[in-house]
């Protein structure tokens, strides 16, 4: 399905078994002049008929529905009529697992279920869902070819979070640092489409890869299950990062969904540092925070990787990494679900080269080997 052109309204179909949620989502999305809610459906069978008749650009889809659950409906949809889908999920462990299944099946993104009793958060929620629907309308959606390996399964007085820079967490360094360790570290940033992009990269890396730190925009309830899922499908040891953990080769540390992840030096070692400061670029965890900490504490010993994602988080931090001597690459536009974060990093001159997703792991290993050889030759 082709992305929506800039001069067209985005046609949205809302699928949810709750009449209250359908009404709330309709009001939120219809308030944006770039979006038109063309219809609603209370179950998968009604949604199927309305998709044929209304030809929406984006679907918001409830995970739990009567008659046919959202995952089975999504599985059928992505085989027969692939289109951008934003899932509506609950912030529970079960909700996290089902949502990760949906992303594996091809859903572009997800939002949590709106809570109508928390009216003071509605403005923030409205900003999130309208942004994600707009991003989904521009997403590159591909048919589901083979899923055998996949799991079956009111106006507010509150203002939107201020868009802070990484300075709010970690001041910019005055000059270049000198490093007592030559151990390499890989720093990865991702957002929309990133859970599956990260899986692709980790599955292709060998168990003796340099230590890896990852910031993926994801809620706290989802980051633990996501780390566990990556651990089960990768030859590397993957965990949700804890404060003070030593970053070791063959290990992957994923930022918790409610904390910034930083890399710090402890003598000749790298360690994880968690920070509970304010959101940066409206995100917590923020890729800019991770990348700045890597620039300051690993410099030329680091490799930066920007994967698919909405927005600009991480672009400035990756530029700081490159300026500090790190090798920096990004996913290309053709294979990105949304080429926002990689595109922004490329735009500011932070990226040395662009690569299709399936080539990212090989490029990481090539860069790591090149840098190892250069150090050995210099010695």
Report pLDDT digits (tens) over 126-169.
Answer: 999 999 999 999 999 988 765 444 433 333 333 344 568 888 88
| pLDDT given for residue 160 in this prediction | 40
Pairing of strands 269-275, 353-355: unpaired
**Which class in CATH covers the domain with range 182-378?**
alpha beta
CATH code for the domain defined by 10-137: 3.40.50.2300
Same fold, 10-137 and 182-378: yes
| pLDDT given for residue 118 in this prediction | 53
Show the low-confidence residues of the chain (pLDDT under 70). Answer: 1-6, 92-93, 115-121, 145-163, 174-181, 375-379
Are the beta carbons of 326 and 294 closer than 8 angstroms? yes
103 upstream amide cis, omega within 30 of 0:
no
Residue 217 falls in the annotated catalytic set: yes
> Measured between alpha carbons, how far is 70 from 11 in angstroms, rounded to an integer?
20
Q: Is the dihedral of CA 215, 184, 166, 331 positive or negative?
A: negative
| pLDDT given for residue 1 in this prediction | 55
> Measured between alpha carbons, how far is 317 from 305 in angstroms, rounded to an integer?
11
Residue appearing with tokens 């504490």: 297
Are the beta carbons of 365 and 336 closer than 8 angstroms? no
Are the beta carbons of 308 and 295 closer than 8 angstroms? no
| pLDDT given for residue 156 in this prediction | 34
Dig out the tokens for 149 from the structure: 């390996």
Report pLDDT digits (tens) over 84-100.
Answer: 999 998 776 677 888 99
Residue of 57, 101, 109, 313 marked active site: 313
| pLDDT given for residue 346 in this prediction | 98
| pLDDT given for residue 159 in this prediction | 39
| pLDDT given for residue 319 in this prediction | 98
Residue 32 falls in the annotated catalytic set: no
Residue of 62, 209, 217, 332 marked active site: 217
Residue 140 falls in the annotated catalytic set: no
Query: Domain coordinates of the chain in residue numbers?
Result: 10-137, 182-378
pTM of the predicted model, to two decimals?
Answer: 0.89
Residue of 191, 209, 223, 234 marked active site: 191
Query: Whats the size of the chain, residue-wise?
Result: 379
């Amino acid at each position: 399905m082709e992305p929506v052109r800039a001069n067209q309204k985005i046609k949205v179909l809302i699928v949810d078994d709750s009449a209250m949620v359908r009404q709330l989502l309709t009001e939120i999305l219809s308030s944006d002049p770039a979006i038109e809610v063309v219809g609603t459906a209370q179950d998968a069978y009604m949604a199927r008929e309305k998709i044929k008749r209304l030809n929406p650009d984006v679907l918001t889809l409830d995970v739990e529905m009567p008659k046919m659950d959202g995952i089975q409906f999504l599985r059928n949809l992505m085989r027969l009529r692939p289109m951008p889908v934003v899932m509506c999920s609950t912030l529970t462990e079960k909700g996290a697992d089902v949502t990760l299944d949906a992303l594996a099946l091809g859903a572009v993104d997800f939002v949590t279920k709106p809570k109508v009793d928390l009216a003071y958060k509605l403005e923030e929620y409205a900003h999130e869902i309208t942004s994600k629907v707009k991003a989904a309308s521009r997403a590159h959606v591909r048919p589901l070819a083979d899923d055998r390996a996949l799991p079956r399964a009111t106006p507010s007085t509150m203002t939107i979070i201020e868009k802070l820079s990484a300075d709010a967490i970690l001041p910019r360094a005055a000059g270049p640092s000198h490093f007592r360790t030559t151990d390499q570290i890989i720093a990865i940033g991702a957002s929309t489409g990133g859970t599956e992009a990260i899986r692709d990269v980790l599955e292709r890396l060998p168990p003796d890869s340099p230590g890896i730190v990852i910031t993926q925009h994801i809620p706290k309830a989802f980051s633990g299950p996501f780390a566990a899922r990556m651990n089960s499908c990768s030859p590397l040891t993957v965990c949700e990062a804890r404060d003070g953990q030593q970053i070791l080769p063959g290990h992957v540390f994923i930022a918790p969904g409610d904390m910034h992840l930083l890399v710090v030096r402890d003598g000749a070692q790298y360690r994880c540092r968690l920070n509970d400061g304010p959101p940066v670029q409206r995100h917590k965890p923020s890729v800019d925070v991770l990348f700045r900490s890597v620039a300051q504490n690993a410099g030329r010993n680091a490799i930066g990787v920007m994967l698919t994602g909405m927005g600009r988080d991480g672009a400035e931090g990756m530029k700081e990494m490159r300026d500090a001597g790190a090798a920096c690459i990004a996913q290309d536009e053709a294979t990105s679900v949304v080429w926002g974060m990689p595109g922004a990093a490329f735009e500011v001159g932070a990226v040395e080269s662009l690569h299709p997703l399936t080539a990212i792991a090989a490029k990481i290993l090539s860069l790591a080997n090149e840098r190892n050889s250069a150090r050995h030759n210099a010695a």
